[in-house]
Amino acid sequence: MTLLNWQQKWLDHLRGERGLADLTLKNYQRLVCQDIERLAAQQIEQPQQLTVAVLERQLVNWRREGLGERTIALKLSAWRTFCDFLLHNDALADNPALSVKAPKIPKRLPKNLDVDSITHLLDLPDDELAVRDAAMMELLYSSGIRLAELVSLDMDSVDLRMGQLRVTGKGSKTRIVPVGQHAIKAIRRWHKVRTAWLGAKPEVALFVSKRLNRISPRTVQQRLNYWGQQQGIVGDLHPHKLRHSFASHMLEASGDLRAVQELLGHANLSTTQIYTHLDFKRLAEVYDKAHPRATRTRK
């Protein structure tokens, strides 16, 4: 079989056996497909033709195209996963992508809002759209869920009496997260508006658009950006900023990295550890004021 044929079997495997989401599958396909087509134009069509030298030339081409370090690292990671699949299906004797050195990516700290900014942001008017948007933002900040998790919520995903939320995250993994009282009140208000909007129309989605269908990720992004501008929030407001704010505020208050990992639905603790750096400036200020031998140089 050609690499193109193997790619389809690989994607089917990721979808069926690993249960990856459609968006993740599309990303994998995007990261590898174009390279396979270019290799085919060079008469490299069989798995056995994949070598370290071939993939290193690909890396050089990525740089010539002006791809950033982060994108190159993603493409190389996708190739490693693809070659690993070929290896396990006896189409390769080893994984050549493992010998190609990935670029170093500087860690960028997530930007978050302080508590006062969150309070101001969520002080919205009483019109119907604002009631819906407030419920979405309260839930994003209250539980730290992802955008995709928010839009996939159904009515039975939320237990308002118990104050908890059933979330289906990456890899179709389900977790239960708590919901704060402010979010519960906002969702109850939204339930009344939702009922008036839908009337007798059957719809399981928790959040719907004015067209009475499940709300789209794009609409959520647009509404959050709108309210960010209306409420005078500095910088773009997007769902992930509320997730970052939830994580940093939780970690600052509790210091419990493992608990924050579970709440965020991170598979690896290393993904959550980036939040331990968020409060360095505050810690440095405390250190300078409190430690008897603090001699840090201020710029």
pLDDT tens for residues 53-67?
999 999 999 989 888
Q: Which parts of 157-243 are beta strand (E)?
A: 158-159, 164-168, 174-178
Report the CATH superfamily, name and number, of domain 115-281.
Intergrase catalytic core (1.10.443.10)
- Coarse DSSP helix, strand, coil percentages of the chain, rounded to the nearest 5 percent: 60, 5, 35
Q: Is 87 left (phi over 0), alpha (psi -120 to 50) or beta?
A: alpha
Write down the pLDDT at residue 27: 85
Q: Determine whether 243 is an active site residue.
A: yes
Q: Which residue has the tokens 């002006």?
A: 66
pLDDT tens for residues 117-148?
888 899 998 899 999 999 999 999 888 888 99
Q: Which of 9, 15, 170, 214 is catalytic?
A: 170
CB-CB contact of 21 with 170 (8 Å): yes
The residues pairing with 154 across neighbouring beta strands, listed in sequence order, are: 205
pLDDT tens for residues 269-292?
666 666 665 555 555 565 666 655
The two structure tokens encoding residue 235: 């910088």
Q: Domain boundaries in the chain?
A: 3-99, 115-281
Q: Determine whether 266 is an active site residue.
A: yes
Q: Does residue 106 register a pLDDT over 80?
A: no
Q: Please check whether the two domains, 3-99 and 115-281, share a CATH topology.
A: no
Q: Which of 75, 146, 194, 223 is catalytic?
A: 146
Q: Determine whether 249 is an active site residue.
A: no
Cα Rg of the chain (Å, integer):
23
CB-CB contact of 24 with 35 (8 Å): no
- Whole-prediction pTM value? 0.57
Which CATH architecture describes the domain 3-99? Orthogonal Bundle (1.10)
Distance CA 207, CA 131 (A): 11
